[in-house]
Amino acid sequence: MSYRTHLLRADKVMARLVRRYSLKAIAPAKNPLEELVGSIISQQLSVKAVETIAARFFALYDGRMPSAERIVRTPIPRMRTCGISNAKVRYIKNVARAFIAGRLNRAHLMRMSDAEVHHHLIAIKGVGPWTVEMFLIFALGRPDIFSPGDVGLQNAIRVHYGKKPTPTFMKKLSARWAPYRSYACRYLWKSLDNE
Q: For 144, which DSSP code?
A: S
56 and 21 in one domain? no
Catalytic-residue membership of 150: yes
pLDDT at position 38 over 60: yes
What is the rounded CA–CA span in Å between residue 117 and residue 137? 12
- pLDDT tens sequence across 49-71: 888 999 999 999 999 999 999 99
Distances (CA, A) of 70 to 13, 61, 189: 46, 9, 33
What is the rounded CA–CA span in Å between residue 16 and residue 72? 46
pLDDT score at 73:
96
Lowest mean pLDDT among 38-47, 116-125, 184-193: 38-47
- pLDDT tens sequence across 153-168: 999 999 999 999 999 9
User: Using 50, 70 and 90 to split pLDDT, how confident is the model at 172?
Assistant: very high
80 and 53 in one domain? yes
What is the rounded CA–CA span in Å between residue 72 and residue 85? 16
109 and 74 in one domain? yes
Instruction: Give the list of residues 6+ apart from residue 36 with CB closer than 8 angstroms, or none.
Output: 95, 121, 127, 131, 135, 139
Mean pLDDT, rounded, for 148-156 = 94
Mean pLDDT, rounded, for 35-40 = 90
The last residue of a domain, from among 95, 110, 138: 138
Q: What predicted TM-score, i.e. pTM, was given to this entire model?
A: 0.88
129 and 90 in one domain? yes
What is the rounded CA–CA span in Å between residue 173 and residue 157? 9
36 and 22 in one domain? no
pLDDT score at 43:
80
- pLDDT tens sequence across 85-143: 999 999 999 999 999 998 888 888 999 999 999 999 999 999 999 999 999 999 999 99
What CATH number is attached to the domain comprising 56? 1.10.340.30
Q: Residue 51's domain spans which residues?
A: 32-138
What is the rounded CA–CA span in Å between residue 71 and residue 89? 9
C-alpha 171: how far from chain center? 19
Q: Is 25 helix (H, G, I), strand (E, B) or coil?
A: coil
pLDDT at position 195 over 60: no
What is the rounded CA–CA span in Å between residue 38 and residue 88? 11
65 and 50 in one domain? yes
Tell me the one-letter amino acid at 128: G
Number of domains observed in the structure of the chain: 2
What is the rounded CA–CA span in Å between residue 33 and residue 139? 10
From the list 11, 62, 114, 150, the catalytic residue is 150
Give yes or no for a contact between 40 and 92, defined as CB atoms under 8 angstroms apart.
Answer: yes
Distances (CA, A) of 102 to 34, 53, 106, 120, 135: 16, 28, 10, 12, 18
